[in-house]
Amino acid sequence: MGAQGQDLTINGTAVTLSVDGDTSLLSVLRDRMDLKGSRIGCTEGYCGACTVLVDGKPVQSCNTPVWSVAGKDVTTIEAAERHPVLSEVQKVFVDLQAAQCGYCTNGIMMTLAGLLGQSPRPDRAHILAHLDERHLCRCGVHVRVLKAIDQLLAQSGGATA
C-alpha cells in the first residue's frame, strides 16, 4: 500500500499526513510529528512505554496502524497541560517523585489518565489490573507509583482498597 493522506487529530490539532495507513501511530508521532514523549519499547504492545489516549482510552501506539485512528482524537503526554485529568496525574507523579529512570512513566501516566477519565469512581484493583497487563517497569519505582495511584483515587473519590 502506498502513501495516502491520513487525517488525524493529535493533541487537538487537525493534521493530514502522507503516510502508508499501516504505519504505526508511534512512528507517526515520533518521526513525523516530533512528539517524543511516547517511547519506543518492545514495539509489540506489551511494555506500555508508547501508550497514548485515543478518544480518551489508553492504547499502545506501537502496534496501532495510523489508519485506525483516522477521525479520532489522539492525545499524547505533550498535551498534559491542556488535559485536566492528565495534568493532575502528572502533578501527583512529580509531587511524589513517582519516576526513577522515567522510561515507562509517560505510558503509565497516560493509562492512569485514560482510566480516571473514563470512570467517575475508579477502583484501585481495576487500575492495577490494567497496569499489570499493559506496562513493564524494571527500575523499581512501583511503591511510589502505587502511592500516586492512591492519592489520585483519594482525590477523585475512587476506591483505594
- Say what the pLDDT of residue 138 is: 85
Instruction: Judge whether 25 and 65 are in contact, CB under 8 Å.
Output: yes
The domain of 102 spans 79-156
Question: Secondary structure of the chain in the HEC alphabet?
Answer: CCCEEEEEEECCEEEEEEECCCCEHHHHHHHHCCCCCCCCCCCCCCCCCCEEEECCEEEEHHHCEHHHHCCCEEECHHHHHHCHHHHHHHHHHHHCCCCCCCCCHHHHHHHHHHHHHHCCCCEHHHHHHHHHHHCCCCCCCHHHHHHHHHHHHHHHCCECC
Q: Do 72 and 90 belong to one domain?
A: no
Q: Do 66 and 111 belong to one domain?
A: no
Residue with cell 496525574: 89
- Say what the pLDDT of residue 2 is: 63
Q: What is the pTM of this model?
A: 0.92
**Average pLDDT of span 100-127:** 90
Domain finish residue from 28, 43, 76: 76
Handedness of CA 148, 154, 158, 159 (dihedral sign): positive
**Average pLDDT of span 14-37:** 95
- Say what the pLDDT of residue 102 is: 85
Instruction: List pLDDT tens digits, range 62-94.
Output: 999 999 999 999 999 999 999 999 999 999 999
Q: Do 9 and 43 belong to one domain?
A: yes
Q: Do 29 and 59 belong to one domain?
A: yes
Q: Do 8 and 58 belong to one domain?
A: yes
Residue 39 has pLDDT above 70, yes or no: yes
Q: Do 47 and 98 belong to one domain?
A: no
Handedness of CA 57, 134, 141, 152 (dihedral sign): positive
| Sheet with 57-60, side-by-side order of all strands | 13-19, 4-10, 73-75, 51-54, 57-60
- Report yes or no on 30 lying in a domain: yes
CA distance 26 to 59: 11
The CATH number of whichever domain residue 95 belongs to comes to 1.10.150.120
The CATH number of whichever domain residue 50 belongs to comes to 3.10.20.30
Name the average pLDDT for the chain. 92
Q: What is the tally of structural domains in the chain?
A: 2
CA distance 117 to 73: 14
- Report yes or no on 42 lying in a domain: yes
Residue 105 has pLDDT above 70, yes or no: yes
- Report yes or no on 161 lying in a domain: no
Domain finish residue from 76, 92, 110: 76
Q: Do 67 and 89 belong to one domain?
A: no
Q: Which of 36-40, 71-75, 109-113, 127-131 has the lowest mean pLDDT?
A: 127-131
